[in-house]
Amino acid sequence: MIFPELFPRYFHPELSIYYNASLLMSEIKTTPRMDIIDLFQRAKELNNMTFSTLLLCLDWLYLIDFAYVDDKGEVILCSLKA
């Protein structure tokens, strides 16, 4: 059973952090080491993502141990950790 209060009619999944993070996951899998600005430009092309949404998505991807941002500002797939 789906609870209507959890999924209102006006809900747009393409605006959610989960959806946007999934787009970033695809990009990071394709290019496992990418400058954060390059990733932002690609995310902007894919879903007109704002920089704040990108940062929230990167926080989520870090929490689930998928990707991290190093000191140089590169987004790196966690399987590449040394």
Domain boundaries, given as residue ranges, for the chain: 13-80
Q: Does domain 13-80 have CATH number 1.10.10.10?
A: yes
Nearest-angstrom CA–CA distance, 45 and 65: 25
DSSP for 7-20, written as a single string: S-TT--GGGSHHHH
pLDDT value at residue 27: 96
Angle at 82 between CA 20 and CA 62, to 5 degrees: 25
From first to last of the 82 residues of the chain, give the pLDDT tens digit.
555 544 556 677 788 898 999 999 999 999 999 999 999 999 999 999 999 999 999 999 999 999 999 999 999 999 876 5
pLDDT recorded at residue 45: 95
Confidence at residue 7, expressed as pLDDT on a 0 to 100 scale = 53
pTM: 0.82
Question: Quick count: other Cβ atoms within 10 Å of Cβ 53?
Answer: 19
